[in-house]
Structure 1
Amino acid sequence: MAFLGDDQLHSLLDQLPALAGQPRQLEELSGGLTNYNVKITTSTATYVARCTDTSNNLLGIDRDNEFHNTKAAAEAGVGAPVIDYRPDLGILLIGYLEGITLENKDFGRPGVITRAAQACRALHAGPRFRDDFDMFERQPEYLKTVLDKGFRIPSDYLEYADRFASIERVLTATDRSTLPCNNDLLAGNFVDDGEKIWLIDYEYSGNNDPCFELGNIWSECRLSLDQLDELVSTYYGKTLRHKIARARLQGIVSKYGWTLWGAIQSASSPLDFDFWEWAMERYDGAVAEFTGPDFDRLLEDAQADD
């Protein structure tokens, strides 16, 4: 999201005590769809500046919440240290994590799913986040935005509202407990240093059902059902039918809800990125699950004692 020129960015960075007056090298990092991430290398340390344009926020992102939760993730031992936060400048400065950002294919490598599950457990065991995140609340907010603005959505999107609601009834009736979750763990938000996996990007973080975290990973990282079973079973330390079903249902919820995120971005983002295709990939996946042979069984399994 390169809305800043180098001269303007250097001027902003000079206002941060950790960087003021220091020679530095800037490198734009890939992956940001709602912000502009820059790697900053000085003679003494390496940082990442998460730069945001706060003039347009149709996605419900609260940068103060992101700051608070990024600090909490660092305290949990799986997030980058927070160096500075200047909401007036639109900058969150964090430490740079050495390692590789994962790709979907990396989850097929031995040990990656295990270490991803361990990272999630560490985050979820850490300090509570400031706010909650619930896709059953976020999806109606996104839907109101697209309808009020007249943005395009899939023509039959609302035909599946009853199935979405049926998942909500089952999941809220069986478990309302929440833990601090990232809620946006696509592959690029896992950083693997070879020994442990770190978790980055807390724009959508909040206290949530941990099975949403696991189901969202399944959805966003294109895991197979066997890999979902492995992820959930590793996270809980044993195979639990109701948890696997719950995580898969939350993955469907994720697909259906994030479809509207993509619709909003498609209509409003200045980025040269095909957000409509991004949205339709998730929507097609949600429809396949809503209409698939497993749907009713998943609702039953999620209510099982196990």
Structure 2
Amino acid sequence: MGAMENVIENREDRLPAEAREILQSLASQWEDVVDSKALQVIPLKGAMTNEVFEIKWPAKTGELSRKVVVRIYGEGVDVFFDRDNEIRTFEYMSKNGQGPRLLGRFPNGRIEAFIHARTLSACDLRDPDISALIAAKLKEFHELNMPGPKDVTLWDRLRNWLSTAKRLSTPEEANAFQLDSIEKEISLLEKELSGPSQSMGFCHNDLQYGNIMLEEGSKSITIIDYEYASYNAVAFDISNHFCEMAADYHTDTPHILDYSKYPGLEERQRFVRLYLSSSGNHPTENEVEQLVQDVENYTLASHLFWGLWGIISEHVNDIDFDYMEYARQRFQQYWKTKPKLLGSVGSLPDVATDGNCTV
């Protein structure tokens, strides 16, 4: 899930004992592996919920040909999602050729097949050719017939996260983020954004560049990491993808968002048109414009979603990331863009709305 750090030779102590056992068992079945215990552990940067490692073994050909990925779940992050649901999703995706194969599970993580493709970088999201591939893949993703209930989870999830954020926050934090006013905002968004025109589908809900892989030769896109995936309004998924264009998690300040990088109207229209037409459909201009507007409105839900996520993560996650500053920027963008998107609906608290751009 990002650029590699230094190779750590045989640093198995980074891995739980159960993971080491599964890795050695896997490697012992591969004829080209010289020594199943001679594994290299390489931390991958860019993950903000889990620790992710690439594992390699020396092969008899002299190449480091065998690789897998080990994902160790972050402490306390089960507050965000149902891990059993995520594994079910992962297994379904794997069986349907949508993601990496699941090679093994241990109590606090899993082992996945290594995908021989590159993880996208922040600037890739703005590349018209790559963006077109993402639009088509996302439509395919949304049309998956995932087993289980097909209920929209967004609003309940926001309320649950708000409750958790309030419980974990200090009074000063709760006041600074005006958490007492967010319940009303969630209800307002649910009322304004839900409607019979909304197209529902199985959504990824976290389509940042680190969760998209590209196989250069075949130009095939693979979407990975389904922790937040659920049925949802497809407009939310697209809006969340657009919001992620303001982020670059591989800088010295990965928590800083630059909303001047949010895609302009023509770019958004192009993505939505490609998305709607990718299954051989011929959308009308009205259909394109309607979805573009719905997507814009759902950016508000995305800001609340990841703002609350940031507050909670600050209290439960040890990963080196300024979650609170990230949350502050998402809430700031919410209050800043809400009047333009929803007009006079709802009151606007007295908050600072400084920043260098608008959505």
Change (3 A) 1:150 1:164: closer
Conserved 8 A contact 1:67-1:92:
no
Conserved 8 A contact 1:178-1:209:
yes
Distance in structure 2 (CA, Å) of the matches to 1:127 and 1:47: 28
Structure 2 match to 1:301: none
Structure 2 match to 1:14: 20
> Which of these residues, 256, 259, 263, is aligned with residue 224 of structure 1?
263
**Any idea what SS the aligned residue of 1:111 has?**
helix
Alignment of structure 1 residues 1-306 onto 2, 5 Å:
6-7=12-13, 9=15, 11-16=17-22, 17-19=25-27, 22=36, 23-42=38-57, 43=59, 45-53=66-74, 56-57=76-77, 59-86=79-106, 88=107, 90-128=108-146, 130=148, 134-151=153-170, 152-153=173-174, 154-159=176-181, 162-175=184-197, 178-194=200-216, 195-222=219-246, 223-226=262-265, 227-237=267-277, 238=283, 239=285, 240-292=288-340, 294-296=341-343
Deviation at 1:202, TM superposition (A): 0.9
Distance in structure 2 (CA, Å) of the matches to 1:116 and 1:297: 35
Change (3 A) 1:123 1:272: same
Counterpart amino acid of 1:224?
P
| Equivalences, count | 290
Distance in structure 2 (CA, Å) of the matches to 1:125 and 1:45: 33
* CA distances 1:93-147 after superposition (whole Å, capped 9, x unpaired): 1111222222232222231111011111222222315465632111111111122
**Any idea what SS the aligned residue of 1:266 has?**
helix
Conserved 8 A contact 1:27-1:40:
yes
Deviation at 1:230, TM superposition (A): 2.0
* Range that drifts further, 270-279 or 66-75: 66-75
Deviation at 1:263, TM superposition (A): 0.6
Distance in structure 2 (CA, Å) of the matches to 1:115 and 1:297: 37
Larger Rg: 2
**Any idea what SS the aligned residue of 2:320 has?**
coil
Conserved 8 A contact 1:28-1:39:
yes
* CA distances 1:47-70 after superposition (whole Å, capped 9, x unpaired): 11111255x246332221111111
- Residue ranges of structure 1 left out of the alignment (5+ in a row): 299-306
* CA distances 1:222-263 after superposition (whole Å, capped 9, x unpaired): 331333222222111234222111122222201112101101
* Range that drifts further, 6-15 or 194-203: 6-15
- Residue ranges of structure 2 left out of the alignment (5+ in a row): 1-10, 29-34, 60-64, 247-261, 278-282, 346-359
* Range that drifts further, 131-140 or 181-190: 131-140
Identity rate of aligned residues, in percent? 21
State the Cα RMSD in Å.
Answer: 2.6
* Range that drifts further, 31-40 or 13-22: 13-22
Conserved 8 A contact 1:262-1:276:
yes
Give the TM-score of the pair, scaled to structure 1. 0.84
Q: List, as ranges, runs of 4+ consecutive aligned residues in structure 1 with deviation greater than 6 Å.
A: none
Deviation at 1:162, TM superposition (A): 4.4
Distance in structure 2 (CA, Å) of the matches to 1:34 and 1:167: 26
Conserved 8 A contact 2:40-2:56:
yes
Distance in structure 2 (CA, Å) of the matches to 1:46 and 1:184: 25
Distance in structure 2 (CA, Å) of the matches to 1:6 and 1:137: 40
Distance in structure 2 (CA, Å) of the matches to 1:170 and 1:10: 47
**Any idea what SS the aligned residue of 2:202 has?**
strand
Conserved 8 A contact 1:69-1:202:
yes
